[in-house]
Amino acid sequence: QVHLQESGPGLVKPSQTLSLTCTVSGGSISLGGYYWGWVRQPPGGGLEWVGYIYYSGETFYNPSLKSRLAISPDTSKNQFSLLLTSVTAADTAFYYCTRARVGHSSPFDFWGQGTLVTVSS
């Protein structure tokens, strides 16, 4: 069974960089067949796809965040990370790391428990 676990600061100051790590167990981010990425959800709000990375290193980002976003792998630790720069209060959300199946309809079949990141001074 695949398990994903987010970690990182729960509070980030405006204009600074949000940094989160997802640790994967039960599956390898170095193998093909899946995208590894992030979805966020403001408290009480809807879901927004942030982006994901493929084992080849190819990245796919939401255009609304692309200029501030980087997702990168650490294959030695079976982890991948999210960096979001120049954050504002609008970036306050629960951040979920996810696995999506490559192929028809690319469903997000595994999710981490989520971590709340608050942007505030």
Residues of this chain that interact with other proteins (CB under 8 A) are 39, 46-49, 60, 62-64, 96, 101, 104-109, 111-114
- Position 64: which residue type? S
In terms of CB distance, is 30 or 64 closer to other proteins? 64
Can you give the C-alpha Rg of the chain in angstroms? 14
Quick one: tokens of 75?
């294959």
Q: How far is the CB of 47 from other proteins (least distance, A)?
A: 4
**Token pair of 70 as six digits:** 């980087």
Nearer to other proteins, 14 or 45 (CB): 45
Query: Residue 94 CB, nearest distance to other proteins (Å)?
Result: 8
Kindly tell me which of 55 and 111 has the beta carbon lying closer to other proteins: 111
What is the pairing mode between strands 11-12 and 115-119? parallel
How far apart are the C-alpha atoms of 12 and 72, rounded to whole Å?
20
Q: How far is CA 68 from the centre of its chain?
A: 13
State in angstroms the smallest separation of the CB of 71 from other proteins: 14
